[in-house]
Chains A and B, each alone.
Chain A
Amino acid sequence: MSDLRGDELLERVVAELRRPVALSPDFDARVMAALEPPSPWTAPLRWLTRPRTVTVSPLGLLGAAACLAGLVVAGAALATRALRVLEPPPQVAVAPAPGPRAEVVRFVLAAPGARRVSVIGDFNDWDAEATPLRPAAAGVWVADVALPPGRHEYAFLIDGREWRADPIAPRAPANEYGVPNSVITVGARSS
C-alpha cells in the first residue's frame, strides 16, 4: 500500500522508520498492573450462563414448565416496576463516570442529509459509537450528555467519516493537526 517505488531516498527513510523501537522491559507489566480486576459479578454470571445438558422425565418436565411460567409472570411484574424506577431521563447519554457534579450539556448540530451523527471527545475516548445524536426537526441533530466538571475537547462525526467542529463553540487552541476540535468547560458558570 506504501507506494514509494523508484524514490530511493524515501524508501531508505521508510525502511529505517519501520525498524522496531524498544520500550522499557517492564512496560507490559505496568499496563497489566493498572487494569482493574473484573467485577465480582462476572464469575457468577459466567457460571449461570454456561451451557448445560439437563435430563428430565415427562412428569418432571410438566412441573418445571409450571414453575417456569410462574417465574416468568412474577419476573415480568417485578421488571416492569424496576424499570420504571431505574430508567434514566429520556434521551440523556451519560459519559463514563460523570460524578455527582455532572451537568447535562445539549449538543446540537445542523447537518441536513447526514445519515448519522455522533459527538466524540475526551469524555468518551473519541469513540464514534459511544454518543450518537438523535435526529430532530429539519436536519438538526441533538444529544443531551451528562459531563463531569472540567474542560472537554470534542467534535462531531458525520456518517462515521466527516469530522466537524461545533460551529457555535470556541475552537481548541492547541489543535495543530488540521482536525478541528471545539472546547466546552463544564462548571464554569458556578466558579
Chain B
Amino acid sequence: MTDLPDGVIVRRVLEGDPDAFGVLLSRYRDRMARFAVHMLGDRDEAEDALQEAFIRAYRSLRRCADPDRFDAWLFRIVVNRCRTAAARRARRARLVAGDAPAVGRAAAAPADPDGWREEIERALARLAPEQREAFLLKHVEELSYEEMARITGAGESALKMRVKRACERLRGLLRERQYV
C-alpha cells in the first residue's frame, strides 16, 4: 500500500480502514516534523503540534476537498497548529516573567561540533514569525508561491516580500556572527 497515491489511501481510510492512515503518517511525518521543529524551535512543542495536526487531519478527512493533494491540505493544518502553539507560548510568556521564547534554544542537533546548526537556529529565531514561516516553506520545503498562498492565506506579493526580507536578515545575522 506504501506506493499507492494519496487519493487512494484517503478513500481507504474513509471507507473504514483507519490503519491506512498510518501510510499517510509515515509518508509525511518527517517533512512536517522538519517544518514544525524549525518553526517552533522546540522539539517537544513541535511534536505536540504535529500530533494534534495528524489527529485533526484524520478526524476532518471527509473535508479534504482534493485527496490527491492531501499533503497541501495537511500542511495547512500543520501551519495553523504551529501558529496556535506559538500564540499559546506568547500568552504564557506574558503571564510568566522570564519565560524566554523557546525558539532557537532547543533545536540544536546532538552532533553539531562547530555550532553551525545552533547558529542557524539562533538566526532563524530572530526572524519575525511570518518571515520565518515564509522562508521555511519556500526554501526548505520548496513550495511554489501559489501553494504557499493557499496554505498561509497571505497574498503572493506579500510572501515574496517576506522571503526576501528573511533572506536579507539571515545573511546579515550569520555574516555578523562569522566575522565577530
Q: Mark B122-136, 1 if CB is under 8 A from A, else 0.
A: 011000111001001
- Asked if residues B47 and A27 are in contact (CB atoms below 8 Å), the reply is yes
| Chain B residues within 8 Å of A23, by CB | 29, 33, 43, 47, 50
Instruction: Name the contact of B34 in the complex, choosing from A21, A34, A35, A130 (C-beta under 8 A).
Output: A21
Q: Are A155 and B153 closer than 8 Å at their CB atoms?
A: yes
> What are the interface flags for B25-63 relative to A under an 8 Å C-beta threshold, 1 for contact and 0 otherwise?
110011001100110000100010011001110111001
How many Å from the CB of A97 to the closest CB on chain B? Answer: 10
Can you name the residue of chain B whose Cβ is closest to the Cβ of A44?
B16
Cα distance, A42 to B68, chains bound together (Å) = 23
Contact call A125/B18, Cβ cutoff below 8 A: no
Q: Please, what's the 1-or-0 string for A1-14, where 1 marks a CB less than 8 Å from any CB in chain B? A: 11010010110111
The 8 Å CB contact of B142, one of A2, A13, A45, is A2
A168 in contact (CB, < 8 A): no
- Check: A157 CB closer than 8 A to any chain B CB: yes
Q: A162 in the interface, Cβ–Cβ < 8 Å? A: yes
What 0/1 pattern do residues 86 to 107 of B give for CB contact below 8 A with A?
1100110000000000000001
Please, which residues of chain B bring their CB within 8 A of the CB of A12? 116
Do the beta carbons of A16 and B34 come within 8 Å of each other? no
A13-B170, A20-B30, A31-B25 in contact; A2/B51 too (CB < 8 A)?
Answer: no
Question: Chain A contacts of B29 at CB under 8 A?
Answer: 23, 27-28
CB contact between B76 and one of A2, A126, A178 (< 8 Å): that residue: A126
**Interface range on chain B (Cβ under 8 Å from partner):** 35 or more
Specify which chain B residues have a CB less than 8 angstroms from the CB of A155 in the assembled complex: 153
Q: Is the interface of B mostly helix, strand, loop or mixed?
A: helix
A10 and B33 contact, CB distance less than 8 A:
no
Measured CB to CB, the closest approach of chain B to A177, in angstroms, equals 5
Interface hits, A104-138 → B, CB 8 Å:
122, 124-130
A159 to chain B, nearest CB (A): 11
Are B133 and A32 closer than 8 Å at their CB atoms? no
Q: With A and B bound together, what is the CA distance between A28 and B33 in angstroms?
A: 12
**Chain A residues in 8 Å Cβ range of B124:** 17
Shortest Cβ distance from A17 into B: residue: B140
Partner of A21, one of B17, B37, B150: B37
Interface string of B112-128 (1 = CB under 8 A from A): 00001100100110001
Residue of A nearest to B16 (CB): A42
B171 at the interface (CB under 8 A from A): yes
Given contacts A42-B16, A43-B16, A129-B63, 9 further A-B pairs with CB under 8 A are A9-B175, A10-B167, A21-B33, A21-B34, A28-B29, A38-B17, A125-B60, A176-B90, A176-B129
Q: Which chain A residues have a beta carbon within 8 Å of chain B's beta carbons?
A: 1-2, 4, 7, 9-10, 12-14, 16-21, 23-24, 27-28, 30-32, 34-39, 42-43, 45-46, 96, 122, 124-130, 155, 157, 160-163, 174-179
In order of increasing CB-CB distance, the 9 nearest A-B pairs are A163-B153, A42-B16, A174-B87, A38-B16, A178-B130, A129-B65, A2-B139, A177-B130, A21-B37
Mind listing 12 A-B residue pairs with CB under 8 Å?
A4-B167, A17-B120, A23-B47, A27-B29, A27-B50, A32-B19, A35-B55, A45-B16, A125-B63, A163-B153, A176-B128, A178-B158
